[in-house]
Amino acid sequence: MTRPRWSERLAVAQDRRVRSDTLRQRRVVERTEGARVLVDGRSLLHFCSNDYLGLAGSLDAVSALQEAAALHGVGSGASALVSGHHALHARFEREAAEWMGFERALFFPSGYQANLAVLQGLLEPGDLCVQDKLNHACLIDGARLSRAALKRYPHRDYSGALRQLQSMPGAAALLATDSVFSMDGDIAPLRELALVAIGEHALLLVDEAHSIGVMGPEGRGACAAAALSPRDVPVLVAPLGKAFGGQGALVFGAVALIEHLLQSARPYVFSTAAAPALAAAMSANLDALRTQTWRRAKLAALVARFRRGALRYGLPVLESTTPIQPLLLGSNARALAVANALEQRGYWVAPIRPPTVPEGKARLRITLTAAHAEADVDGLLAALAACLNDAGTAT
């Protein structure tokens, strides 16, 4: 037996990516101003940002960040349990919990880390974790880290979820779903899943990455929009990299649950706390997102405008009422070609390919934000129609 060589493994993997059109490139963003972005030296209209409410550039948040950094520096200096938990973190957690109507909130440096922490912190080997097939990668990875049995059900199929829960009736169980699915833009059957979880004594976790700030009264998310309370959804995860326009995540729950997590979740315990200034900036954006309802109204109007236009042009958009409007193209090559053609016309839309989506389901993931103008959306629609026409005759 000879030991495999790393150089060969890396070369083979790279070659495979090139041949299957799945090689990804990092584009260099130099500046963002509203919906315009300077990328690799060109000014483009940005249709692949998750900054749904246009709060990433919020001047109030910028001032809060600057003032907090001037007073407290840029680093927290330690993990939260050692000495990194700052008054600004504590304030943000209190404000957020009050806003959402939960007893407690726990602030994490990222959503990925928060989901790893919640699943690893709660689940043990021998437990059961039931998840939607299209859940975000970090929910899947969190279940793997916990070494609980992971069983998935067909997308949005709550009776499938029930069957999976019933397959291990003696195991402690957690049911996890995205509220809005990140690559499809559709919404989980949250009320039905809540009933299933309650009937099966399973803990329901909902990841509101794409709905927090965007849906529900005061932007409280899809669960709130479905009139579900913390009793129905005892664990709610809200990443802050999307509508919050920043970075980090909040995990909401009852006192006992949050206390358990902060003692036992390794991704929380063994990682440096986020910068206090980040908490201050997110606090400012929480305020904006609660009170500036015009942002949600404008976004909803733009989504409706895009849907109407897509219908008129006969574009192959998926069924979605959220700011995520995917255009299904099928092959990787086709998704790449259309994305490149759009860029030539001044529009930046990311082609999404496997493994992020299933084989043969490559797409353009168009996202609308409150920073767009009606004319931007109209321009995109016309460009899409023209590019698809060209691609249709070429491939």
Ligand X SMILES: *Cc1c(COP(=O)(O)O)cnc(C)c1O
Look up tokens 């907090």; give the residue: 68
241: β partners: none
Q: In Å, how far are 53, 264, 324 from 49, measured between CA atoms? A: 10, 34, 10
Strand order across the 249-253 sheet: 104-108, 249-253, 235-239, 203-207, 173-178, 128-132, 149-153
State the nearest-atom distance from the C-beta of 12 to ligand X, in Å: 29
CA distance 171 to 180: 28
Q: What is the pattern of x (binds ligand X, CB under 6 A) and - over residues 230-249?
A: ---------x-x-------x
State the nearest-atom distance from the C-beta of 112 to ligand X, in Å: 3
Asked whether position 111 contacts ligand X by CB under 6 A, the answer is: yes
Asked whether position 209 contacts ligand X by CB under 6 A, the answer is: yes
Q: Which is nearer to ligand X, 282 or 387 (CB)?
A: 282
Asked whether position 84 contacts ligand X by CB under 6 A, the answer is: no
State the nearest-atom distance from the C-beta of 114 to ligand X, in Å: 7
**Strands 42-46 vs 36-39: parallel, antiparallel or unpaired:** antiparallel
Contact 206, 187 (CB under 8 A): no
The window from 108-116, 145-153, 320-328, 384-392 that contacts ligand X (CB under 6 A) reads: 108-116
> Among 72, 89, 136, 156, which residue interacts with ligand X (rule: CB under 6 A)?
136
Asked whether position 138 contacts ligand X by CB under 6 A, the answer is: yes
The window from 187-195, 206-214, 262-270, 322-330 that contacts ligand X (CB under 6 A) reads: 206-214
Number of Cβ atoms within 10 Å of the Cβ of 292: 18
The window from 55-63, 205-213, 322-330, 358-366 that contacts ligand X (CB under 6 A) reads: 205-213
Closest-approach residue to ligand X (CB): 111
State the nearest-atom distance from the C-beta of 97 to ligand X, in Å: 19
Q: Which is nearer to ligand X, 164 or 182 (CB)?
A: 182
- The answer for residues whose C-beta is within 8 angstroms of residue 325's C-beta and 6 or more apart is 185, 303, 306, 307, 310, 317, 318, 366, 367, 368
Closest CA to 319 of 186, 161, 139, 150: 186
Q: Which is nearer to ligand X, 239 or 309 (CB)?
A: 239
Interface residues for ligand X in 162-191 (CB under 6 A)?
178, 182
Tell me the number of residues near ligand X by CB under 6 A. Answer: 14
The window from 109-117, 214-222, 224-232, 325-333 that contacts ligand X (CB under 6 A) reads: 109-117
Contact 10, 309 (CB under 8 A): no
CA distance 204 to 176: 6
State the nearest-atom distance from the C-beta of 259 to ligand X, in Å: 23
Is the sign of the CA dihedral 42, 46, 50, 53 positive or negative? positive
Please report, as ranges, the residues that interact with ligand X according to CB under 6 A: 110-112, 115, 136, 138, 178, 182, 207, 209-210, 239, 241, 249
